[in-house]
Amino acid sequence: MNILILGAGFAGHTAALHLSHLVRGKARITVVAPKNRFTWFPSLIWVGTGTMSEERVHFELAPVYEKLGIEYVDGRAEVIAPDDRTVTVRLPDGSTQTIAYDYVLNATGPYLNFEATPGLGPAHGTTQSVCSVEHAVAARDAYLESVRAMERGTRQRLVVGVGHPTATCEGAAFEYIMNLDWDLRNRGLRDRAELVWLTNEPDPGDFGVDGVETRKRGSVVTGKALVQMLFDENNIKTMIAAGVTKVEPGILSYDQVGVDPGTLTYDFAMLIPQFRGIPMKYVARDGSDITEKMAAPNGFMRVDADYTPKPYDEYRANDWPALYRSPHYENVYAAGIAFAPPHPLSKGKKTAAGTVIQATPPRTGMASGIMGRTVAYNIADQIAGREPSHHARMSEMPAACIASMGKSIWNGSAASIIMVPVARDFQKYPEYGRDMNLCDLDVGIGGAWTKRLLHDAFMWKLQAKPGWQMIPE
């Protein structure tokens, strides 16, 4: 029995860890992922501000898998043939290898689609990203150049947010701009920096999950009000419901709801790109291309979700997948960023020019880990001859997010956010779509301590060190 896992991010690596003990002696596990590296993405915002070294946010996968009895292949999946139960993998030397499977998990993560916005990105443009170790290091170096310019007395405009009208991961960008603010204050340079928050969110604090609310001393507190307060207190200018349409050196072109298209000059910009599925082809036994059947137009794999087009107000909690299994093949799964969401969580808007401004659903971190564990248990069920019984709809699962606003445990801070569930369920919770007794919002130094603790705890867990099973996803 062969289990093949494509990708070793939060979903894929978590699935591999759990399968290593769930099916020990019953199946061979193989992980295919490029670069022999796991990256703890939540801390890349610190790498990108120069407050943490890049060596502290990643580790080699091969020694971990050797310890667990898992085979590791350094490569990238290119073709899945679900009828033949094989995957074609491109190896670092350019050759290919075909790997057979009985069960396969697509956890390949996102393709960073910088080219969707002309001129965006560190490779062919003049903006930065914190979506990989290499990008975060480049962002750090570019930021420190701006710092040196400010030290010489030159005022700088730093623009942070998303670089496409339908990008995701606004939370990471929010952490980054708040850490820039904190770092510049510590350097005594904040008065020489203009910080601008540019986002496709319909409101501040939306984060692609339709915001969050909680009750505090009998009153409802919203993430929108909290985040706007933080921006106001820290003199961060905001461009809400906006999408970058083109980047030229030092100039961003954008379209924004309620205003005419415009341009914005910048000295430094960190903008998250649009995500798409990793380019991959699906083929039938006769060699025909079935990619359109298996994947959504954005390249993410279809699973057991309801993809029926419908108006935003008709979205339902049960639209979200429970098993993360292909509707066409019972031995093919997708989890984390690799699965296709059935619809957005936040309501999109259109500009006068017709540009769709849409914050798309985040599926990283805790959510991806829960999905990976769920798939692992469902595959174990199938190997044992049982029907998959583990569900993890985003309309059922909780999410806890600690958004750093300064790394120090002495004078740092963080926004702590708890949502239950991530995707609103108005049938179960008619008023807000979430359990208001469990949702929470808080800001303070305690969050900074928690953020640091999570970094160390998960770097321990994900290297499968003693007791790793006791640390939850």
Give the β-pairing of 2-6 and 28-33.
parallel
Assign 18 to helix, strand or coil: helix
Assign 23 to helix, strand or coil: coil
Residue 284 maps to a domain:
yes
- Which whole number is the average pLDDT over 52-68? 98
- pLDDT score recorded for residue 218: 87
Assign 426 to helix, strand or coil: coil
Tell me which residue of 115, 111, 125, 355 sits closest to 256, measured CA to CA.
Answer: 355
- Spell out where 16-152 has E strands: 28-33, 38-39, 58-59, 71-74, 76-81, 86-90, 96-100, 103-106, 110-113
Residue 208 — pLDDT band, cuts 50, 70, 90? very high
pLDDT beyond 90 at 124: no
Residue type, 43: S
Q: Is the dihedral of CA 138, 114, 34, 465 positive or negative?
A: positive
Compute how many other C-beta atoms are within 10 angstroms of the C-beta atom of residue 266: 23
- pLDDT score recorded for residue 380: 98
- Which whole number is the average pLDDT over 418-446? 96
Strand pairing partners for 79?
88, 281
Give per-residue burial for 222-247: e unless 16+ CB within 10 Å, then b: bbbbbbbebbeeeebebbbbbbbbeb
Q: With contact defined as beta carbons under 8 Å apart, do 272 and 169 qualify?
A: yes
pLDDT beyond 90 at 63: yes
Domains of the chain: total: 1
Residue 40 maps to a domain:
yes
Reply yes or no: is the peptide bond before residue 309 cis, omega within 30 of 0. no
Sheet of 103-106, strands arranged across:
71-74, 28-33, 2-6, 103-106, 332-334
Q: With contact defined as beta carbons under 8 Å apart, do 424 and 388 qualify?
A: no
Percent of the chain with pLDDT over 70: 100
Query: CA geometry: angle at 155 spanning 414 and 145, to 5°?
Result: 70
- pLDDT score recorded for residue 435: 97
pLDDT beyond 90 at 409: no
Residue 8 maps to a domain:
yes
- pLDDT score recorded for residue 182: 98
Residue 202 maps to a domain:
no
Question: pLDDT tens-digit profile of 88-118?
Answer: 999 999 999 999 999 999 999 999 999 999 9
Q: What is the mean pLDDT of the chain?
A: 97
Residue 466 maps to a domain:
no
Residue type, 220: V
Q: How far, in Å, CA of 38 to CA of 440, rounded?
A: 30
User: CATH number, domain at 369?
Assistant: 3.50.50.60
pLDDT beyond 90 at 171: yes
Question: pLDDT tens-digit profile of 333-358?
Answer: 999 999 999 999 999 999 999 999 99
Residue 129 maps to a domain:
no
- pLDDT score recorded for residue 274: 98
- Tokens 């290297």 identify what position? 463
Half-sphere exposure of residue 116, counting CA atoms within 13 Å on the CB side?
Answer: 19
- Which whole number is the average pLDDT over 413-441? 97
For the record, the structure tokens of 263 come out as 């341009």
pLDDT beyond 90 at 15: yes
Residue 282 maps to a domain:
yes
Residue 376 maps to a domain:
yes
Helices (H), 217-257: 223-233
How far, in Å, are 175, 204, 403 from residue 230 at the CA level? Answer: 12, 10, 12
- Domain residue limits at 354: 2-111+276-383
pLDDT beyond 90 at 21: yes
Question: pLDDT tens-digit profile of 255-299?
Answer: 999 999 999 999 999 999 999 999 999 999 999 999 999 999 999
